[in-house]
Structure 1
Amino acid sequence: MKHLLLILIITISLASCKSPEARLPESVQSGSFIKQSAERNKILIENERLKIETIIDKDSIKDYIVSENGFWYYYNTRVEKDTITPQFGDRVNFSYNVSDLNGATIYSKDEIGTKDYLMDQEILFTGLREGLKLMKPSEIITFIFPSQVAYGYYGDDNKIGTNIPIVCEVTLNTLIQNKND
């Protein structure tokens, strides 16, 4: 009887030392969410592009330029004589206003005030950061930013909602070049 009890204890001990087996997933995801999200984004981008191009087509007075960074712009005041534009590490002082595609003001220059910015070293939404790089001191440029280069999916957590294209009139007041090149 002692031997039987000893064999039983050893068998139970060995059986309980077995490593746990991994569970198989109950369902396999095919990546369809990512595919659907990408398709929604393509449609959103295309719809915004069509709206912006319709606005541009109706405005025969201004000479719009298409940026390689995914936005459109035109000069309100252009400086021909100066060739200096902001580079990495330069300090710029600028002011701007923000409106929607219909021209309704979202933020005025008075609300925003003037801003100091170290080029590419501080946080600024993509479109405005890239737009400033095109500007010379004293220039005023109006930019039309699709949502993906503006505030995107999250908005600004205040007045600019999800996926809202915006128009910004930007004045580059001063440019102080970084002398540490």
Structure 2
Amino acid sequence: MKKLLFISLVSLFGCNRNAQTAHPPVGGVLSKKDLDVSRERMKNLNSAERGQIQDWINGQSVKYYPTQLNYWVTVDGFDQREKRADNTLISYSYDLYDFDETKIYDQPIEKRDARFGHFDELKVVENALRFIKDGEEITLLVPSSLAYGTFGDEKKIDNDIPLIIKLKAL
């Protein structure tokens, strides 16, 4: 019995020495240092993606304009338009593409009579819908931090993937 206890304790201490820093699950609590590391990583990633998106834009025949929320759109002065109010309804659809212009999902994502302020949607889509005119179609170029971020959509979109979103107000 003493031999078994001794072997168990030695194994336990041996495992503990090789343990890596534990990371809390999504929604868990992070230390200030962990938050600073994460913030710096996102800042560097966003800067790199913005450069890559700008290079992609330079090779396009369509003109794209930056917005205040850090994405690009095919309409000049887009986020200077009159903004839709909370609790108003909008119907819309959009398709997602990667920057190789490969469509990610076969069917568009479509919502009917969605109410502003109660969206279960990407924030960049909600923001763009605030300024889009009825029947208008626009294209958004979105860094990963405004798309599905470091987790992806857990289906077809991997982590840290910038997207092209073709959005239409129905």
Same fold (TM > 0.5)? yes
Shift of 1:84: 6.7
Which of 124, 127, 130 is the equivalent residue of 1:130? 127
C-alpha separation between the residues in 2 aligned to 1:131 and 1:49? 18
RMSD: 2.2
Answering whether residue 96 of structure 2 is matched by residue 98 of structure 1, we say: yes
Alignment check: 8 A CA contact 2:93 2:108 kept:
no
Residues 85-124 of structure 1 deviation map (CA, whole Å, 9 limit, x = unaligned): 532111101111000111011124x353454311122211
Partners of 2:158 and 2:112 in 1: CA distance: 22
Which runs of no fewer than 5 residues in structure 1 stay unpaired?
1-29, 174-181
State whether structure 2 residue 47 is matched by structure 1 residue 50. Answer: no
Does 2:132 align with 1:168?
Answer: no
Which residue is 2:72 aligned to?
72
Deviation of 1:167 after TM superposition, in Å, equals: 0.6
Paired-residue identity, %: 26
The answer as to 2:36 corresponding to 1:39 is no
**In the alignment, is the contact (CA less than 8 A) between 2:42 and 2:145 conserved in 1?**
no
Question: TM-score when scaled to structure 1?
Answer: 0.68
- 1:31 Cα shift? 4.5
Query: Do the aligned residues in 1 keep the contact of 2:82 with 2:131 (CA within 8 Å)?
Result: no
One-letter identity of the residue aligned with 1:62: V
8 Å CA contact 2:139–2:165 kept in 1: the answer is yes
**Larger RCO of the pair (alpha carbons < 8 Å, separation 6+):** 1
How many residues were matched structurally?
136
What is the DSSP-based 3-state SS (H/G/I as helix, E as strand, rest coil) of the residue aligned with 1:86? coil
Summarize the Cα distance change of 1:35–1:122 in structure 2 as closer, same or farther, 3 Å threshold.
Answer: closer
Q: State the Cα distance separating 1:37 from its structure 2 match.
A: 2.1
Inter-partner Cα distance in structure 2 for 1:116 and 1:160: 26
Residue 10 of structure 1 corresponds to none
Aligned-pair CA distance for 1:53: 0.4
Contact (CA 8 Å) 1:86, 1:92: kept in 2 or not? no
- The residue number in structure 1 matching 2:139 is 142
In structure 2, runs of 5+ residues without a counterpart are: 1-30
Deviates more, 1:118-127 or 1:136-145: 118-127
Q: 1:84 to 1:33 in 2, by over 3 A?
A: closer
TM-score by length of 2: 0.72
